[in-house]
Amino acid sequence: MGLRERVKNVLLKGYEYRLTRWLDGRQRPRHVGVVLDGNRRWAKEAGFTDVAHGHRAGARKILELLSWCREAEVEVVTLWMLSTDNLDRPADELVPLLDIIADIVDELAEPGNPWRIRHVGALDLLPTETAARLSAASLRTRSRTGLEVNVAVGYGGRQEIADAVRKLLLEHAESGGTIEELAEVLDVDHIAEHLYTSGQPDPDLLIRTSGEQRLSGFMLWQSAHSEFWFCEAYWPEFRRTDFLRALRDYALRHRRFGS
């Protein structure tokens, strides 16, 4: 490492320290959602012909993010790792990506780690082996008391709402109720109770990397009152400094919840 890089790192550490001190005692998000975007573009700009290198780099970044969230006393993190639209990618990219995702989730579920894994998404849309690995990881960690990590794989916001309504209708039918009876009492809470994230607080802060300033359907229902933060860096380049800046901006916002 050259002198310029060493000086840059020292200055960055000092900046992170000041941000951390400033955040002390200020409002923090309980639930942070992250759109892990830009892995493929990062790989291509780095000169890799195989974009799987970008996905692997992005997977390694997840471990860093969770440690930062733990330091910040975040309770729930939702990681959008694969959308329902991504399932249409060519097999030569999708198959390695699914393996990389399953590998990092297995790593999070290893003994000694504090994370509680929860899959959010449509398992029936995933290959059988991938679905089995994600479900097994969730089962292995269900007794843990640490940070809850939602792995959004095969996830789409519209799909989630459709699945929630379907589950609600089936549950009502099994109890012997009619559609007319359900229509008379149906409210937003009934649907919320059947979402993938049922029982969890809605996300306070949603982060998207890579410079794209849209949610693309991420947590459509839950994000009604979320604060959004967009970052230019590709996901593999996302730094602790960026995360602390997101927390700082969140702390400065006055959340009125429509009032």
- Look up residue 72 and give its two tokens: 């910040």
Active site residue 88: no
Active site residue 150: no
Q: Has 22 been labeled as part of a binding site?
A: no
Which of the following is catalytic: 37, 150, 202, 204? Answer: 37
Q: Has 156 been labeled as part of a binding site?
A: no
Q: Has 118 been labeled as part of a binding site?
A: no
Partnered with residue 83 across adjacent β-strands are 155
Q: Has 42 been labeled as part of a binding site?
A: yes
Q: Has 85 been labeled as part of a binding site?
A: yes
- Look up residue 171 and give its two tokens: 């549950």
- Asked if residues 207 and 229 have their Cβ atoms less than 8 Å apart, the reply is yes
**Sheet strand arrangement including 116-120:** 116-120, 148-155, 76-83, 31-35, 205-208, 227-230
Which of the following is catalytic: 50, 86, 150, 242? Answer: 86
Q: Has 39 been labeled as part of a binding site?
A: yes
Q: Has 55 been labeled as part of a binding site?
A: yes
Q: Has 99 been labeled as part of a binding site?
A: no
- Look up residue 67 and give its two tokens: 């440690």
Distance of alpha carbon 158 from alpha carbon 84, whole angstroms: 10
Q: Has 237 been labeled as part of a binding site?
A: no
Establish how many alpha carbons lie within 13 A of residue 113's alpha carbon, considering only the half-sphere containing its beta carbon: 22
Q: 111-123 as b/e, with b when 16 or more CB fall inside 10 Å? A: eebebbbbbbbbe
Q: Has 163 been labeled as part of a binding site?
A: no
| Known binding-site residue numbers for Mg(2+) | 37, 227
| Known binding-site residue numbers | 37-42, 55, 83-85, 89, 208, 214-216, 227
Could you give the residue numbers annotated as active site? Answer: 37, 86
| Known binding-site residue numbers for substrate | 38-42, 55, 83-85, 89, 208, 214-216
